[in-house]
Chain A
Amino acid sequence: MTDSPLLQLESVRIRHEGATAFTPDEVGFAVHSGEVVLVLGPSGSGKSTLALALNGLVPHAVPAELEGTVRVDGIATTDTTVARLSESVSMVFQDPDAQIVTGTVLDEVCFGPENLGLPVAEVLARAEAALTQVGLWQRRDENPDRLSGGGRQRLALACALALRTPLIVLDEPTANLDPRGIDEVYTTLADLVARGGHALVLIEHNLDAAMTLVDRVVVLDRSGRLRFDGPARTVLRDHVGELLALGVWLPAATLAGLRMRDAGHPVAELPLTPVELTALVDSLPAPTAPVPAPEGTVRSGASTTPPQFAPGHELAVRVRDLTVHRGRTEVLHGVDLDVPRGAFVALVGTNGAGKTTLLQSIAGVIAPPRGRVDLLGLDPARADVGTLARAVGFVFQNPEHQFVRGTVADELAQSLERQRLSPDEVADRVDRMLERFGLEAARDVHPFLLSGGQKRRLSVGTALIAGAPVLALDEPTFGQDRERAAELLDILSGLHSEGTTVLVVTHDLQLVADHATHVAVLDGGRIAAFGETAAVLASDALVASGLQPPPLARAFRAAAHPAWHGVTRLGDIPTALRASGAGS
């Protein structure tokens, strides 16, 4: 391009106060008007730090050292102020709650233009245009808290639009949202891109949603160095092996394409979106039998009889006619649920469907009505904390909330000491747990000073150390990047294979597809469907409850031949190809 770039980075290195390494390290790239650039990289590569440098928050507001130059409209960010730069670069951050400062949707959008000192008429004109564009103009008088997560993030986008900056930086804008919110935000972004006029820099781990929008990708490696910079399709297709080795998360469709390639099927062009994957699948000969063979049944919420499990199946959790109120609202309406021992159950549903309430009732975090929940012969409504802790471990969404002691080792010892075990026994079990979760080196560290991944592992360890055969987790992957989410899911799969019954509330349906044995879909305080994962994902239950099937399931369900429709996880693909005669 001949025009001068909107944004120009030259050997940018950033080191946070107290850190030893520079991440990002020697990064240089340019963004021109109208471009959509996706920044990729494994956790720790400094993507979010880089985002903060683009409007001068680094080094002006965040204590960090910046080397090299970031130029916005030709002006180095170090020569001006964040407030001035906000006329050229606007930001949308990850946490929608942390971006709202006023009491109504309209005031919120006006906040930026008011700070610029624009005349009232201009402020209102901009606010109306921005709110109309994100579809919130009708709700301008409401308190932003009344909006859904997706709605609040669209509001944050409107606030950025009202500043009329040529460049918008979005830092993990959908990481805190449920699938419906993610769709809302991406629909709005797609509209924004289609209208043109804005350059976007997007930091996002959810590539399945982002791939359709992106022109160019910039890839950082684990030490924060620039590895690739080029058109999205070229970089993803030509360097797919290197990207995987770097720990960059690829779109599910691309991973599926790779599986096909590994299975011996020639895939000329790797698919990047579910639509492209469907096209690829349709080019293959259809399998002779449905893959995988349908097993298990899906119970729809309408039927009253609970599903029958094979006689040998002992139940870990048995819920009957459970009705729970929160304040004056009834959140769960007569829920029945049977969880076989050793199952890995995912509770899914839109916000407000009652997932967390159900999980908390089962684990006794909130007291359910008596006689409705049977947890390995225990009624959580009556059991005391100690007895309950030996039956079920509960992991909260934010691990910090449940830390109660001053060191990692004490934290693990807490519930054992409450059981009055001998000091030798406590020390022995703590040591084993530290080793199990790779926390030996951190045993005397304060839990709050651990890294995010370590905190999460410690919270799982404390939930399990009392010997609980059931583990319940409330949205453990919320707000985390893909890598950390996968790390946690691997731990859970490990525990599951050792016999622990795992119950998890989550929004991430692809993780559900890849790990859970059973899925319970909640809708409006009722169980809309419950059954084995493959059967539920292949049914219409998700869509009927306002959820979108995960990308793989979506792509295969869209295939022309119905024999493909049951494929929901990567592991199914080789079998499917063998059945179709396309693989070797």
Chain B
Amino acid sequence: MSLAARAARVDPYADRVDHGALRFLHRLNPLAKIAAPLPAMIALVFTRDLAVPLAFIALAYLLLLVGAKLSGRAALGLFVVLPALSAVLAFSIGLWTAPSRTEGTPVLFAIGSFDYTLGALTAGAATALRLGGILVLSLLAGLTSTGPDLVRAMVQQLRVPYRLGYTALAAYRFVPRFGHELDVIRQAHRVRGVSTGRGPVAAVRRWLGYVVPLLAGALRHAERVALAMDSRAFGAHPTRTERHLVPFRARDWVFMLAFWAATAAILVAGAVLPR
């Protein structure tokens, strides 16, 4: 049925794939891939210059290029969409920078009495690069881990109760199902002639109309899934057998510590080196 076809396209459970020793990011524990860049991400929130975010972005790109098997889509996002977005963001934030802070820097162009200065562009770029840096760092884990592995790692290493983790995993299945259901509801409402009017007010009213049937269906479905899980001994014991171990190995420690060291080096260099 169309539901199955749809769900097959979105496969949140795609099994962890091993792309060889060189693509090492896929072999690391998801938690290591989150913990390693975390200090850098926090540091980026507080940086003001261009060099530090650029260094982190370069590091992340290097790691992704070497250590991850990138799909065509991911590569496109990483090398085209993200740089383009950052450029647009840099320019537009520059527009909003208070002129008083950038006085004295060369004027790049002027519209009437408004001067767009190099200083404004630099300030915009700094903010854009910080945001871009945080995003790219998060992609280290995002592009190379699967949802189930993350849940398993959380249960196995962080001692998150398995009832919580696996319920969240089961809820993954709801996403394509609800997407399909929403399509059908929209179709049905259109047939009933509800889709009248344009503009945001009509759109909000339309969407509110979708909420009730969608929620009613969702609650019923969730209840059934819960009964099915209970019937299969879910929660019978404090622990459950794990067939897929997601171990935290020496390589995970090495990656994490090396990344932290690199983070420290970049931050120190950024603070010490003359600009």
User: Which A residues fall within an 8 A CB radius of B?
Assistant: 52, 55, 57, 60-62, 81-84, 86-87, 90-91, 93, 95, 97-104, 107, 110-120, 123-124, 141, 143, 145-149, 159, 163, 326, 351-352, 356, 360, 363-366, 385-386, 388-389, 394, 396, 398, 400-404, 414-415, 418, 448, 462
* Residue in chain B with minimal CB distance to A55: B231
B residues 1-45 near A (Cβ < 8 Å) are: 1-4, 7-8, 11-15
Cβ of B34 to closest chain A Cβ, rounded Å: 21
Cβ of B231 to closest chain A Cβ, rounded Å: 4
Q: Is the pair A101, B243 in contact by a Cβ cutoff of 8 Å?
A: no
Interface size on B, residues (CB 8 A): 56
Q: Is the pair A83, B235 in contact by a Cβ cutoff of 8 Å?
A: yes
Q: Is the pair A81, B188 in contact by a Cβ cutoff of 8 Å?
A: no
Q: Is the pair B216, A448 in contact by a Cβ cutoff of 8 Å?
A: yes
B residues 167-200 near A (Cβ < 8 Å) are: 169-170, 173, 176-177, 181, 184-185, 187-196
Cβ of B246 to closest chain A Cβ, rounded Å: 14
Q: Is the pair B193, A414 in contact by a Cβ cutoff of 8 Å?
A: yes
Residue among B11, B15, B213, B235 with most chain A CB within 10 A: B213
Residue among A86, A145, A360, A403 with most chain B CB within 10 A: A145
* Residue in chain B with minimal CB distance to A169: B231
Q: Is the pair A402, B191 in contact by a Cβ cutoff of 8 Å?
A: yes
A-B residue pairs in contact (CB < 8 Å), sample of 19: A83-B230, A83-B234, A83-B236, A84-B236, A87-B236, A91-B231, A93-B224, A98-B225, A101-B170, A107-B243, A123-B243, A146-B8, A365-B187, A400-B217, A401-B184, A401-B185, A404-B209, A414-B193, A448-B216
Q: Is the pair A120, B241 in contact by a Cβ cutoff of 8 Å?
A: yes
CA–CA, A577 to B270, complex, Å?
99
CA–CA, A123 to B2, complex, Å?
33
Q: Is the pair A98, B228 in contact by a Cβ cutoff of 8 Å?
A: yes
Supplied contacts A86-B236, A394-B191, A402-B191, 15 more A-B pairs, CB within 8 Å:
A55-B231, A57-B227, A83-B236, A93-B224, A98-B225, A99-B228, A103-B13, A107-B243, A116-B233, A117-B241, A143-B8, A145-B3, A356-B2, A389-B192, A415-B192
Given contacts A61-B226, A93-B228, A101-B169, whether A113 and B235 have CB atoms under 8 Å apart is no
B166 is an interface residue with CB less than 8 A from chain A:
yes
Q: Is the pair B230, A57 in contact by a Cβ cutoff of 8 Å?
A: yes
Q: Is the pair B233, A112 in contact by a Cβ cutoff of 8 Å?
A: yes
Q: Is the pair B190, A385 in contact by a Cβ cutoff of 8 Å?
A: yes
B residues 96-111 near A (Cβ < 8 Å) are: none
Residues from chain B with Cβ under 8 Å of A112 in the complex = 232-233
Given contacts A57-B231, A103-B148, whether A402 and B212 have CB atoms under 8 Å apart is no
Given contacts A104-B13, A365-B191, A402-B191, whether A87 and B228 have CB atoms under 8 Å apart is no
Given contacts A90-B231, A98-B228, A145-B8, whether A114 and B240 have CB atoms under 8 Å apart is yes
Identify which of B3, B192, B239 contacts A404 (C-beta below 8 A): B192
CA–CA, A163 to B233, complex, Å?
9
CA–CA, A304 to B185, complex, Å?
37
Q: Is the pair B227, A81 in contact by a Cβ cutoff of 8 Å?
A: no
Residues from chain B with Cβ under 8 Å of A415 in the complex = 192-193
**What 8 A-B pairs have minimum CB-CB distances, sorted nearest first?**
A103-B13, A83-B236, A98-B224, A145-B7, A402-B188, A115-B233, A101-B170, A112-B232
Identify which of A97, A98, A104, A117 contacts B236 (C-beta below 8 A): A117
Q: Is the pair B243, A120 in contact by a Cβ cutoff of 8 Å?
A: yes
* Residue in chain B with minimal CB distance to A62: B227
B229 is an interface residue with CB less than 8 A from chain A:
yes
Cβ of A401 to closest chain B Cβ, rounded Å: 4
CA–CA, A143 to B230, complex, Å?
22
Identify which of B1, B224, B228, B230 contacts A352 (C-beta below 8 A): B1
B237 is an interface residue with CB less than 8 A from chain A:
yes
B221 is an interface residue with CB less than 8 A from chain A:
yes
Given contacts A83-B234, A84-B236, A415-B193, whether A403 and B4 have CB atoms under 8 Å apart is no
Cβ of B52 to closest chain A Cβ, rounded Å: 40
Residues from chain B with Cβ under 8 Å of A147 in the complex = 4
CA–CA, A102 to B233, complex, Å?
15
Q: Is the pair A102, B169 in contact by a Cβ cutoff of 8 Å?
A: yes
Cβ of A278 to closest chain B Cβ, rounded Å: 34
Residues from chain A with Cβ under 8 Å of B169 in the complex = 101-102
Cβ of A369 to closest chain B Cβ, rounded Å: 18
Q: Is the pair B3, A448 in contact by a Cβ cutoff of 8 Å?
A: no
Cβ of A389 to closest chain B Cβ, rounded Å: 6
Q: Is the pair B7, A462 in contact by a Cβ cutoff of 8 Å?
A: no
B residues 61-117 near A (Cβ < 8 Å) are: none
Q: Is the pair A114, B237 in contact by a Cβ cutoff of 8 Å?
A: no
